[in-house]
Amino acid sequence: MKKTIFTGAGVAIITPMKEDGSVNWDLLGTLIDYQIEHGTDAIVIAGTTGEASTFTDEEHIEAIRFTVEHVAKRVPVVAGAGSNDTSYALWLSKESKQAGADALLHVTPYYNKTSQAGLVRHFMTLADATDLPVILYNVPSRTGLNIQPKTYLELSKHPNIVAVKEANGNLSAILETRYLCGDELDIYSGNDDQIVPILSLGGKGVISVLSNVAPQATHDICQLYFDGKVQESAALQIKLTGLINALFCDVNPIPVKEAVNLMGWDVGHCRLPLTDMDDAHKALLMKEMKAANII
């Protein structure tokens, strides 16, 4: 059996920006501390929610290095190192290792995409690059590419491929993956509205957008389930449904960044091509945040 990277709620943390669009490192440190103090079980840096697709190479590696140093081993740090260019993802993997990351997150290739056979070669090549554990990231809504259960079975044979952040939304496919891979591949929910369903299939937790604004509650959904309090866990998941939906009423991370601004932290705007929310979506977000007693 492979070693589990973390159980519970890992936050796909936002990247705060200054007015000129540069990274606000001091505020990132404050947000990391807030997350850990409120139950978050892992920090996932330089992911989709962190706007890594707009990072320069220097920003990307500095974000990982800064996070590793600031977290100081309090929780695991998972570094986003994925790309649709295998050679570039190899470079990011090695740089992430050197920066001190505990694990790597590798998204499926996007735009150019690939076949299922290409996925196996891509991920196996990346898993060979370092000795760090790898979490695959399957998010067909963004990449146009879906990892099939039989492909997971082949990938799970690599000792460094230990988990998947599954955001395909297909519980039947996730069940098939669990059946085929067993304990050779941990599953984290990549969708905040499916935490409890995926836990019920043996999932280890969630890599979460919701945790940015409700870290304790997101952690508690998982911990209650692990403690055998399934009804309480489900009730909390259901209670937060309105907020979860509001956090995805526009392209992620537009709503969650606005939500953190509404909480009193000046995390700035998203980098273009992402733009600010319209008034209707902002009103919905504020309503659901108030209902959840966040503001």
Instruction: Report how far residue 43's alpha carbon sits from residue 63's, in angstroms, rounded to the nearest whole number.
Output: 12
The number of beta carbons lying within 10 Å of the beta carbon of residue 147 is 24
Is it the case that residue 1 has pLDDT exceeding 90?
no
Structural contact between residues 202 and 171, judged by C-beta atoms closer than 8 angstroms: no
Strand 8-12 with 42-45, pairing: parallel
Question: What is residue 170's three-state secondary structure?
Answer: coil
Instruction: Report how far residue 28's alpha carbon sits from residue 19's, in angstroms, rounded to the nearest whole number.
Output: 15
Give the mean model confidence (pLDDT) for residues 49-63: 98
Name residue 102's amino acid.
Answer: D
What pLDDT, on a 0 to 100 scale, did the predictor assign at position 53?
Answer: 97
Report percent pLDDT > 70 for the chain.
100
What pLDDT, on a 0 to 100 scale, did the predictor assign at position 168?
Answer: 97
Q: Which residues are catalytic?
A: 137, 165
Give the mean model confidence (pLDDT) for residues 101-116: 98
Give the mean model confidence (pLDDT) for residues 245-255: 98
Question: What is residue 264's three-state secondary structure?
Answer: coil
Going by pLDDT thresholds of 50, 70 and 90, the confidence category of residue 234 is very high
The number of beta carbons lying within 10 Å of the beta carbon of residue 71 is 21
Averaged confidence pLDDT in the chain: 98
Give the mean model confidence (pLDDT) for residues 131-149: 98
Name residue 10's amino acid.
Answer: G
Please state the pTM of the whole predicted model.
Answer: 0.97
Structural contact between residues 283 and 252, judged by C-beta atoms closer than 8 angstroms: no
Tell me the pLDDT tens digit for each residue of 161-177: 999 999 999 999 999 99
Is it the case that residue 270 has pLDDT exceeding 80?
yes
Residue 227 class from Cβ within 10 Å (0-12 exposed, 13-18 middle, 19+ buried)? exposed
Instruction: Report how far residue 34's alpha carbon sits from residue 148's, in angstroms, rounded to the nearest whole number.
Output: 37
Tell me the pLDDT tens digit for each residue of 76-86: 999 999 999 99
Instruction: Report how far residue 223's alpha carbon sits from residue 205's, in angstroms, rounded to the nearest whole number.
Output: 9
Question: What is residue 276's three-state secondary structure?
Answer: coil
Structural contact between residues 111 and 79, judged by C-beta atoms closer than 8 angstroms: no
Structural contact between residues 42 and 74, judged by C-beta atoms closer than 8 angstroms: no
Distances (CA, A) of 75 to 8, 44, 91, 207: 11, 10, 25, 14
Range 8-228: architecture per CATH: Alpha-Beta Barrel (3.20)
Tell me the pLDDT tens digit for each residue of 177-209: 999 999 999 999 999 999 999 999 999 999 999
Tell me the pLDDT tens digit for each residue of 256-268: 999 999 999 999 9
Structural contact between residues 128 and 92, judged by C-beta atoms closer than 8 angstroms: no
Question: What is residue 45's three-state secondary structure?
Answer: strand
